[in-house]
Structure 1
C-alpha cells in the first residue's frame, strides 16, 4: 500500500473534525439522551454515536484502504491487518459534554506502521483546533505552538488526576507539582503542546483513541511523549491500550521517569 499523504490526510481530518463540531453543537446543552456503557466504561450520549457514524462514513469513504478504531464502534480486529488506520474518539470528555462544559474535544488521528502521521484535536465550543503531521509543526488555529522548556519538578504545572500523585506510583515522596486537570486526555496533550502546562501524566491503562492525536501534537511542539514505561507509544495494538502516558518538556520528562516507580508494560 502506498504511504499516506500526511498533508492530504490532515486536511481530511480537519474537515471531518469541524463537521463533528457542528453535530456536537446541536446536542450540547440540549439534554441529549445519555446512558452508561457496560462494564463501567463510562457514559455515552446520542451525540457520540451520531458523530461516530458521520466520521466512519466520511473518513472510510475517502480512504477505503484504511482500517478503523473508534471508542464508539465495536472493534473489528481486521484493522490489525492494515498498515494505516484511523483512530478516533468522537467525543473525548463525554462527562464534560453532558455537564455543559466546553472542554470536550473531537480527537482524530491517522496511524501508519504504528506511528501517528496526522492528528487533530478540535474543541468546537471554544473554536480551538490543534493539528500536526509527523513531518510538520504543531499548530493551534493555524499558528505554530511550542511546548514548555521547564526542567524542575518542584512547582511544575502538571495535568494529572489526583490518583496519579498517590505514593504507590513514586519512589519517594510524590513530587511537589502544581496539579491541574482537564476532562479530555486529548485536550491535556494539546495543552502540553501549547506550552500552557509543563507535563501531563496518567498512570492508568490508556485507550489509544484518547491519546493518539494529542500525542503527535505534543511531540511536534517539542515535548517528549512516552507511555508510562518510558517507551515511545505505538498504536493500533491488539488491546488498543497503552500502559499510561507521560508528555512533558524534555528535561522534565526524564526527571518524572526517574522519580516514578517502574510501571508494568502492556501485556
Structure 2
C-alpha cells in the first residue's frame, strides 16, 4: 500500500488512465445526466468504480465525493475526504480530443493536502502536496511572472468576457484561450504555459480541488470570484467561480469584475 496520500493518488490516476484509454475513440456508451447536467460515458463510470474501490480500500476512514457517485452526505462526518472527477472534460473525451484528465485530491479540514491531475493521452502528470512543490512529471513547475494583462493569456470561456460583467464595460486586454478540462486549466497556469484562468460559473469541487492546490503550490493566487480562498468538502460542493493567476494579474481580474 502506498505510504503517502500523494503516492496513492498517483498510482490510482495511472490506473484510471489505463482504463480510460481502453474506451477512448472506441465509441463508448454515452448517456445524458438528469437535469441537463451533461453527458457521462462508460469510461467515466468504469474509472469511478475502480477509484472508489481502490481508494476506499486503502483509506477506509476517508469520505468520498465524486462527480459520478450519488452524494449521501456521509463524507461530512469525515475529517479527510477524497474529491474525485473520474474524467474532467467528458465532452472532449467523447469528441476524441486528448484534453481530458483525471482529477484526484484529498481534503483535510476543508483544505486540499494532496492533489494529482493526470492527462493520460498527453503523458502529463501534475501533482502537489500542501508543503511541497508543484510538479509536472516529477519536475518542479512555476506560475508565470507576467504582471500586465496586455501581455498575458487568459484561459476562460468567451461568455466570461461579456461587457456587463466588468466595471469598465470591457474586460482587461488579455489574449483569450480555452481548454475543456477545468482541472487542466488550473495546471496550465501552474506550469506557466498560460498566465491566468477565470470561470464565473458555480464550480463543482471535483473540477477544481486538485488543480487549486497545484496552482497555489506553483505560486499562483487561487480564489473564488469574490476573492475568498476556496474551502472543500462543503455540504453544497460548489464554489462561486474561480480566479487563478500570479498576484498582479489576479488583482487585475478581481478588481475589474462586477461583484
TM (normalized to structure 1)?
A: 0.95
Equivalent of 1:18 in 7, 14, 26: 14
1:244 is the counterpart of 2:233: no
Let me know the Cα RMSD of the aligned residues. 1.0
Contact 1:7 1:133 in 2 (8 A): no
Partner of 1:67: 63
Equivalent of 1:130 in 109, 122, 126: 126
Contact 1:205 1:241 in 2 (8 A): yes
Partner of 1:146: 142
Q: Could you list the per-position Cα deviations for residues 106-141 of structure 1 after superposition, in whole angstroms to 9, with x for gaps in the alignment?
A: 000000010000000000011100000000000000
Partner of 2:74: 78
1:41 is the counterpart of 2:40: no
Q: Which blocks of at least 5 consecutive residues in structure 2 are unaligned?
A: none
Partner of 1:94: 90
Partner of 2:186: 189
Distance across 1 between alignment mates of 2:3 and 2:90: 29
Partner of 2:5: 9
Distance across 2 between alignment mates of 1:7 and 1:42: 36
Distance across 2 between alignment mates of 1:223 and 1:106: 21
Contact 1:49 1:72 in 2 (8 A): yes
Equivalent of 1:257 in 243, 254, 257: 254
Q: Could you list the per-position Cα deviations for residues 31-85 of structure 1 after superposition, in whole angstroms to 9, with x for gaps in the alignment?
A: 0000111111001001000000000000011000000000000002111111110
1:103 match: secondary structure: coil
Contact 2:244 2:250 in 1 (8 A): yes
Partner of 1:50: 46
Contact 2:172 2:252 in 1 (8 A): no
- Runs of 4+ displaced beyond 6 Å: none
Q: Which blocks of at least 5 consecutive residues in structure 1 are unaligned?
A: 1-5, 263-267
The number of residues matched between the two structures is: 257
**CA displacement at 1:252 relative to structure 2:** 0.9
**CA displacement at 1:174 relative to structure 2:** 1.5
1:234 match: secondary structure: coil
